[in-house]
């Protein structure tokens, strides 16, 4: 008998016996177990798409956000991992690498990195041994990850290398949307 069938069977017995108090306790126990499972579940990470993975560094060239020997992991509240730029080298997106919920304080040399808020806006700092800090707290045009399309947009700033833009970066599992007109005056949306 499955857990759901057992639950239904016990609920029917409770209804037949009119044990209102027992039903309340059973419901509360189920609710508590479900809540604990949600809290204890590890945060799942997204990755950058395998083909739409390049940002552009104004004075440093292309930045690969999904290099073959490392990867950027995008959690609901922060980023982890490494990006690679041929002209710059490795760019670390944070000092934390445990893969669970985390928020960087960006106040010490042991707790720094790129945070992500509920609207998809990125903030904080990435680090490159060759160019220094990369600031995601730009007042010019914050980097954002759209939760509907998975598209990155905006700019981060490096004092030593200039702006880095994210015009062609998508999360894996999302795609670029194109609106095409049809002969009858309507539009069709395609995903590539």
> Residue 98, SS3?
coil
Question: What is the model's pLDDT at position 133?
Answer: 95
| Both structure tokens of 103 | 């928020």
Question: What is the model's pLDDT at position 125?
Answer: 97
Question: What is the model's pLDDT at position 167?
Answer: 87
Of 23-32, 89-98, 105-114, 136-145, the poorest mean pLDDT is in 23-32
Are residues 31 and 64 both part of a single domain?
Answer: no
Q: Is residue 129 part of a domain?
A: yes
Please report, rounded to a whole number, the percentage of residues in the chain having pLDDT higher than 90: 49
Instruction: Show the DSSP H helices in the chain as ranges.
Output: 3-17, 20-40
Give residue 47's Cα distance to chain centre. Answer: 8
Could you tell me the residue range of the domain that residue 17 belongs to?
Answer: 3-40
Are residues 145 and 73 both part of a single domain?
Answer: yes
pLDDT surpasses 80 at 72: yes
As a whole number of angstroms, the distance between CA 109 and CA 94 comes to: 10
Query: Between the CA atoms of 42, 114, 59 and 170, what dihedral angle is there, to the nearest 10 degrees?
Result: 40
53: left (phi over 0), alpha (psi -120 to 50) or beta: alpha
Are residues 51 and 104 both part of a single domain?
Answer: yes
């Amino acid at each position: 008998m499955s857990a759901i069938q057992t639950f239904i069977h016990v609920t029917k017995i409770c209804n037949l016996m009119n044990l209102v108090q027992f039903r309340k306790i059973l419901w509360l126990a189920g609710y508590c177990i479900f809540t604990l499972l949600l809290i204890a579940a590890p945060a799942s990470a997204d990755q950058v798409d395998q083909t739409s993975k390049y940002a552009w560094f104004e004075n440093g060239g292309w930045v690969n956000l999904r290099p073959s020997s490392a990867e950027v992991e995008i959690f609901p509240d922060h980023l982890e991992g490494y990006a690679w730029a041929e002209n710059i080298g490795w760019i670390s997106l944070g000092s934390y690498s445990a893969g669970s919920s985390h928020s960087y304080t960006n106040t010490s040399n042991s707790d720094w990195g790129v945070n992500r808020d509920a609207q998809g806006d990125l903030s904080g700092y990435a680090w490159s041994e060759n160019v220094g800090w990369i600031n995601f707290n730009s007042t010019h045009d914050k980097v954002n990850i759209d939760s509907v399309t998975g598209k990155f947009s905006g700019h981060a700033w490096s004092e030593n290398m200039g702006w880095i833009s994210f015009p062609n970066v998508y999360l894996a599992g999302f795609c670029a949307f194109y609106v095409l007109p049809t002969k009858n005056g309507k539009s069709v949306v395609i995903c590539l």
